């Protein structure tokens, strides 16, 4: 196994750029099928899982957020 010498600044810039692009495409850009971001979709799925509708009793938002982040 050989050691490859590289400039640390160049390597960090390249790695960060790759991470930033992946984050944008995975989290920040809405899906073309429904216009929702992944986090918004998880919240709506939590509403269904917890059976929260317009006519159901009041639930705190922390319950929905914790369910969405826990799943």
Nearest Cα neighbor of 67 from 47, 37, 53 is 47
Domain ranges of the chain: 8-70
pLDDT of residue 4: 84
pLDDT of residue 25: 83
pLDDT of residue 6: 85
User: Quick one: tokens of 54?
Assistant: 């317009």
Digit-coded pLDDT (tens) for 5-59: 889 998 899 899 999 998 888 888 888 899 999 889 999 999 999 999 999 999 9
Let me know the angle formed at the C-alpha of 29 by 49 and 19, rounded to the nearest 5 degrees.
105
- Taking the mean position of all CA atoms in its chain, how far away is CA 28? 8
DSSP, res 33: T
Let me know the angle formed at the C-alpha of 39 by 33 and 44, rounded to the nearest 5 degrees.
75
């Amino acid at each position: 196994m050989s050691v490859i010498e590289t400039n640390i600044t160049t390597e960090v810039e390249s790695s960060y750029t790759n991470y930033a692009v992946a984050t944008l495409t995975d989290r920040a850009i809405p899906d073309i099928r429904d216009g929702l971001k992944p986090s918004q979709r998880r919240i709506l799925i939590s509403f269904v899982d917890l059976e929260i509708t317009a006519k159901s009793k009041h639930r705190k938002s922390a319950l929905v957020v914790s369910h969405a982040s826990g799943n």
